[in-house]
Amino acid sequence: MTALFLPAMAALVSALLALAVASAVAADANRAHLAAMGSLGICGLGVILSTGFLLTGGQADGLTIGVGLPGMPLHLVLDGLSGAFLVLLMLAGVAASAAALDDHGAYRATAPFFPAFIAGMALTLLAGDGFALLLGFEVMSIASFALVLTDHRTPEVRSAALLYIGVATVGAVCLVAALGLLSFGGDFSFAVIRAHPPEGWRATAIMVLTLIGAGSKAGLVPLHVWLPPAHAAAPGHVSALMSGAMTKIALYVLIRLMFDLCGPGQPIWWGAPLVILGAVGAVLGGLRANMEADIKTVLASSTVEHIGLIAVGLGVALAARSADLTGLAALAFGGALLHAMAHALFKSLLFLAAGATQHAAGTRRLDRLGGLIARMPKTTVMVLIGAAGLSALPPTGGFAGEWSLMQAVIAAPRIGGLGWQILMCVAAAMMALAAALAASAAVRLIGVAWLGRPRSPRAAGATDPGRPMLAALAGLAGLSIAVGLFPGAVLGLLAPAIGFATGAGPGAHAGAFMIAAQTDQPGYAAPAIAVVLGLAGAAVFFAIRRWTVAGERRAPAWDCGFGAPPAWLPFGDPATQYGGASFAQPLRRALGTSLMAAREKVDMPDPGDLRPASLTVTLADPSAAYLFAPSGRLRDRLAEYADRMQLLTIRSTLAVMFIALLVFLIAIAGLQHL
């Protein structure tokens, strides 16, 4: 029975690839529907299969397929770790496919890439050797690049996609190098690599290359710059899959390489880079989510924040495992997985809702939206559920995840010396700052886009999306609530993955009703908190009924006595509401000036001058300013040098080629002696 899971999953991947081909050759009108419907069915099967696999214990299973490079068959492996991420991927896939059914004819051109995208991610998870992993990873990159380009007539979309594919290429090069360094005697299969873990400088090089290769895709600083524009540029259901699933697939690659293939014998400080990058990314992402003016860019920035938090958990788990603190490693790793699961659900939900809103209101800009709570009531309820998770408020899954991660960091000082302890203390402060920034960003996003009064006629005419989209939103909202109420059960489901990566036995930190930092101590009892909240709410409700006067009156807003706007300014009035830029102002001044080089320029005309006054705000992501811009300049300069080669005389050209050949041969000779 258990041996059937892997062949079945492999069959699903092939079915997705076949579906991609089928929808590519299908008639124009049916294409999008076919791709979405097919993906929906296949991902639904995938959810059942992967959940079943985890519930039956997650025994590792291997399979060799005779396709691939000459003499190198593809190895597929399904174990606890890939099973856990498959559940996450397939759930996000079901929701995104259901949402894609509600396509209003806009996704037709790139529809075949949608199943290919899911297939690439699934292949990455099932890979049992370096080549299969890279193949899946690259299919995922290229398919998502094409999907980002769906609306390719807009210049911003094109530049976002170009930046994305550029960073993806850098990441791929690093991953190829990392897997090359990992390979043992030319064998790339994970089983062989695992038996011969790398040591010394090779291990360090692999770690750095993995951090760049997988980290760039996950949105880890400093290579996160591509993520907000690219995730925002893609259609809603694709952004949901990119933010909800693809970032987690990248984290899976990171876990596979750093936890599994490099072996448990690595030094404790291996955890530090992940903790540092994660904590910095969490704060930067959270802050940026408070500054952006586009609802999907806000959500994508918050993805950077949450990936940072997960990375902190992974770093603590890695260090704890090296220090032989299995229990702490399991706590940190479980927290990271739980948060990844919760994030996949609520972020997919929010991106789908953002896509629906964009279609309904014709814009994603905060300063053109508003008042959607009265016009898209069902969507708004779902968005509130998702945003509660994003803000890590109890009793949501986001809170359960961040609670476990925080507990892990609080328990982590016993891993190392004073330097590590101070790092943990600073990381805890930065995680708390990030969580609070996320809450602020959520209030800003909902307060400006969904509450208040509409700022444009299109926003005033918005309506709830069609039934497939609402079903997808409701399903994700229900799952988010379930994860929030029963985080212990989710950790139980993920136990094979936690055991695989940390060597901990099942159930160390979770009962069905309580997750705990230590087995003998009380922890976070999500159902109990929900019951307390519910009882308090019921008590307040009955107290209101019993002791206060019923009914209410409607009147113009008090607003400290400001009068209604004149009749000739029907849309001048909504502009007096607090907007996204005004809500961001306190944080922009307090943190933005130092962290994001925020500058405000007020252009005030002289008295008597009739031109309008203006306020210009500029922001720069430090990574864009200090890493991407200089490397862009370096590339230009190198291109200039390379250009000169075209003007060389024939003799110099021949000499250059000869020298190049010589260097190449010397390098090969040197490498063979190594």
Q: Closer to other proteins at the Cβ: 179 or 298?
A: 298
The answer to whether the beta carbons of residues 505 and 491 sit under 8 Å apart is: no
Minimum distance between the CB of residue 613 and other proteins, rounded to whole angstroms? Answer: 17
First to last CA, the chain: 47
Minimum distance between the CB of residue 618 and other proteins, rounded to whole angstroms? Answer: 20
| Under rule CB under 8 A, residue 517 binds other proteins | yes
Q: Closer to other proteins at the Cβ: 357 or 391?
A: 391
Report 79-138 residues binding other proteins (CB under 8 A): none
- In angstroms, the CA 1 to CA 8 distance is 11
| Under rule CB under 8 A, residue 492 binds other proteins | no
Report 452-491 residues binding other proteins (CB under 8 A): 452-453
Bridge partners of residue 129, in order along the sequence:
189
**Span from 46-54, 94-102, 308-316, 588-596 in contact with other proteins (CB under 8 A):** 588-596
Bridge partners of residue 510, in order along the sequence:
515
| Under rule CB under 8 A, residue 519 binds other proteins | no
| Under rule CB under 8 A, residue 529 binds other proteins | yes
* H/E segment holding residue 614: strand 614-618
Minimum distance between the CB of residue 52 and other proteins, rounded to whole angstroms? Answer: 33
Q: Which residues, in sequence order, are CB contacts of 472 under 8 Å at separation 6+?
A: 94, 95, 96, 98, 99, 352
For residue 212, give the amino acid letter.
Answer: I
Q: Closer to other proteins at the Cβ: 139 or 388?
A: 388
Report 416-445 residues binding other proteins (CB under 8 A): 416-418, 421-422, 425-426, 428-433, 435-437, 439-440, 442-444
| Under rule CB under 8 A, residue 406 binds other proteins | yes
Q: Closer to other proteins at the Cβ: 553 or 651?
A: 553
The answer to whether the beta carbons of residues 113 and 139 sit under 8 Å apart is: no
* H/E segment holding residue 581: helix 580-587
| Under rule CB under 8 A, residue 578 binds other proteins | yes
| Under rule CB under 8 A, residue 589 binds other proteins | yes
* H/E segment holding residue 482: helix 467-485
Q: Closer to other proteins at the Cβ: 59 or 585?
A: 585
- In angstroms, the CA 500 to CA 10 distance is 21
Minimum distance between the CB of residue 313 and other proteins, rounded to whole angstroms? Answer: 15
Residue among 51, 326, 585, 623 that touches other proteins (CB under 8 A): 585
Residue among 582, 618, 631, 653 that touches other proteins (CB under 8 A): 582
Q: Which DSSP string do the residues of 511-534 spell out, in sequence order?
A: -SS-B-SSTTS--B-HHHHHHHHH
Q: Which of 312, 325, 327 is nearest to 409 (CA)?
A: 312
**Span from 215-223, 273-281, 589-597, 637-645 in contact with other proteins (CB under 8 A):** 589-597
| Under rule CB under 8 A, residue 593 binds other proteins | no
Q: Closer to other proteins at the Cβ: 36 or 430?
A: 430
Report 375-404 residues binding other proteins (CB under 8 A): 384, 388, 391-394, 399, 403
Size of the site for other proteins (CB under 8 A): 91
Q: Closer to other proteins at the Cβ: 452 or 496?
A: 452
Residue among 461, 505, 537, 570 that touches other proteins (CB under 8 A): 537
The answer to whether the beta carbons of residues 325 and 414 sit under 8 Å apart is: yes
| Under rule CB under 8 A, residue 331 binds other proteins | no
Q: Which of 458, 456, 457, 461 is nearest to 368 (CA)?
A: 456
The answer to whether the beta carbons of residues 479 and 398 sit under 8 Å apart is: no
Burial of 617 (0-12, 13-18, 19+ CB in 10 A): middle
Minimum distance between the CB of residue 301 and other proteins, rounded to whole angstroms? Answer: 15
Q: Which residues, in sequence order, are CB contacts of 478 under 8 Å at separation 6+?
A: none
